Structure 1
Amino acid sequence: MRVAVIQMNQGSDKAANIAQARRLIEGAIAADRPDMVSLPETWTNLGGGRDARMAAAEELPEPGATGGPAYEFLREVARANGIHVHGGSIIEKGEEKLFNTSLVFDPGGREVARYRKIHLFDITAPDGTGYRESALYGAGTELVCVDAGGVTLGLTVCYDMRFAEQFVALRRMGAEAILVPSNFTLQTGKDHWEVLLRARAIESQCWIIAAASYGSYEERGATRQVYGHSLVCDPWGHVVAKCSDGVGWATARIDPDVTARVRRDMPVLEHRTARRVEGL
């Protein structure tokens, strides 16, 4: 499987974000002919405050039914190009709160996976900026894996990457590659982004596919920045494809022989299963 991670500089204009995603996906398909494309976290909205998020949110349909503009765009891209599409995450309308929700469509345009972000980003950045994702979003409660062209994908979103146990749990469920769409802050990204993703790859012995947002956006009168550096990492922890600064994409081949070799030569999952020490 060849996968392209799409790096966007989205803002609060949903229609413009969809148009930007379309241009970048078309460019990646024309240049690299991937079997799957992956978009960043909340690629239809970044910034603009609560009202902009509410305006970008969509009620997700039952699989097979018609959805909103972003949902139908993802379905159309998959069907028109005969590829799997990982829709990063979009903002889902819930009964009481929003959800940060990841979707996967198969080459026929059918939704085959839906995952709600479990770990919510409630932190204070090094510059004192506070992020309180739980003020608007509810937390997911279920781990999700899905087969895509013979590769089992595990689904996560951004802040989930700091919780190694989630990645090991996905490996136990059969994951061979784990998707990590993100809006990683510039301050944390420059120190933690690649380190964490490589660590999750090494621990889980899975490919890591991390499409990220890049650049500046406006949030309640302040300018914030996200790190970008979308990448694909192999199960040994090598970064095999990476985006430069700016919008664009990077493409890599998910090689099952590499996965099999790493897992055969260092069978860490079996060693975990055979543990004898309480709590390990």
Structure 2
Amino acid sequence: MGVFKVAAVQMRSGESPERNAADMEILVREAAAKGATYVQTPEMTGAMVREKQTRDALFVSEDRDVIVKAARRLAAELGIFLHIGSTAIRRPDGKVANRALVFSPKGEILAIYDKIHMFDVDLDHGESWRESDGYEPGSQAVIAEIDGVKFGMAICYDLRFPQLFRAESLAGAQVLTVPAAFTRQTGEAHWHVLLRARAIENGAFVIAAAQGGLHEDGRETYGHSLIVDPWGRILAQADHDQPGVIVAEIDPAQSALARGKIPNLKNSREFTLVKASEKAERVEP
């Protein structure tokens, strides 16, 4: 695959999956109209809901999910690869996964990824989150192949675990995806630098569609969706937290060129970690 156009859709999802699906459709159609053949939506496209009882009533199985149904239809109608950054899916065992899905231009599911790292943190000013209370973490890293280009999949908090992106890059990923719902507090501090770092250290493009603004459930997300090239240069960005679309052209060959200039993936070596205090004492001859 040669040069192609990608888009990141920035949203402000509320508590109604049906309303969010309608908002998503408008933005995905806008992205396709701008020539994007790969379109990514943010984490929790389907619903941003903090209250457990509301979540339990809203979240359903994949075959009943309105976002999944809308994505199938849109991908097929528009002839695009549509990456739902994530939506909450109730698994057969009754547990809920924070799940990303990639749809082909035929409306078929090409790849599924369940978020591995749960956002269990205590921030400043009393802001506290326990994602593991509501979601079951995944255990498998996933690469989606789209017209010969390998896309490594991740979701939001995964961004802080470079080993995931390194493993995907060593397996050939040329594009790394990080759909997210970063809090405003953490986004202002770390969003740009972490995304650019993942691109630079892996010689890969990074596409990160974000949630932005004040949501119905009271949380506030950072927005500022980004598309970064393998040299760490920002190709497109939303400099705000409003819903919208950003678009950029991607040339997969640029990943190989960056890795040729800085071959850190190839030069990586295995090593052991030894504490100085535990080293054997030197024996004089």
Q: TM-score, normalised by structure 1?
A: 0.92
2:237 pairs, out of 233, 239, 242, with 242
Distance 1:279 1:170 in 2: 24
1:204 pairs, out of 193, 202, 205, with 202
Q: Does 1:68 align with 2:62?
A: no
Shift of 1:197: 0.6
Distance 1:276 1:178, change over 3 A: closer
Distance 1:127 1:225 in 2: 14
2:111 pairs, out of 78, 89, 113, with 113
Q: In the TM superposition, what whole-angstrom CA distance separates every residue of 1:205-224 from its partner, at most 9, and x where no partner exists?
A: 111110000000243xxx32
The alignment's C-alpha RMSD in Å is 1.5
Shift of 1:96: 4.0
Distance 1:279 1:78, change over 3 A: farther
Question: Quick one: which amino acid aligns to residue 5 of structure 2?
Answer: R
Distance 2:123 2:55 in 1: 21
Distance 1:276 1:188, change over 3 A: closer
Q: Does 1:157 align with 2:155?
A: yes
Partner of 2:249 in structure 1? 253
Query: 1:1-280 residue pairs with structure 2 within 5 A?
Result: 1-30=4-33, 32-61=34-63, 67-94=64-91, 95-219=93-217, 223-245=218-240, 246-272=242-268, 275=269, 277-279=271-273
8 Å CA contact 2:154, 2:179 repeated in 1: yes
Distance 1:124 1:260, change over 3 A: same
Runs of 4 or more, structure 1, over 6 Å off, are none
SS at 1:189's partner residue? helix
Distance 1:5 1:53 in 2: 26
8 Å CA contact 1:119, 1:160 repeated in 2: yes
Percentage identity across aligned positions?
A: 37
Q: In the TM superposition, what whole-angstrom CA distance separates every residue of 1:31-52 from its partner, at most 9, and x where no partner exists?
A: x110111000011111351233
Q: TM-score, normalised by structure 2?
A: 0.91
Distance 1:85 1:45 in 2: 18
8 Å CA contact 2:62, 2:68 repeated in 1: yes
Distance 1:136 1:48 in 2: 9
Distance 1:241 1:217 in 2: 24
SS at 1:123's partner residue? strand
Distance 1:26 1:110 in 2: 18
8 Å CA contact 2:83, 2:101 repeated in 1: yes
Choose 20-29 or 136-145, whichever is displaced more: 20-29
Shift of 1:235: 0.9
Q: What 5-or-longer segments of structure 2 have no aligned partner?
A: 275-285
Larger Rg: 2
Q: In the TM superposition, what whole-angstrom CA distance separates every residue of 1:89-148 from its partner, at most 9, and x where no partner exists?
A: 010102142110000011111101000000000001222111000001111000100111
Q: What 5-or-longer segments of structure 1 have no aligned partner?
A: 62-66
SS at 1:34's partner residue? coil
SS at 1:127's partner residue? helix
Q: In the TM superposition, what whole-angstrom CA distance separates every residue of 1:174-223 from its partner, at most 9, and x where no partner exists?
A: 1110111100000010010011111111111111110000000243xxx3
Partner of 1:64 in structure 2? none
Q: In the TM superposition, what whole-angstrom CA distance separates every residue of 1:25-78 from its partner, at most 9, and x where no partner exists?
A: 112222x110111000011111351233233323124xxxxx432111111111
Count residues in correspondence. 269
SS at 2:215's partner residue? strand
Q: In the TM superposition, what whole-angstrom CA distance separates every residue of 1:7-26 from its partner, at most 9, and x where no partner exists?
A: 00111011111111011111
Distance 1:276 1:92, change over 3 A: closer
Distance 1:226 1:169 in 2: 28
8 Å CA contact 2:17, 2:66 repeated in 1: no
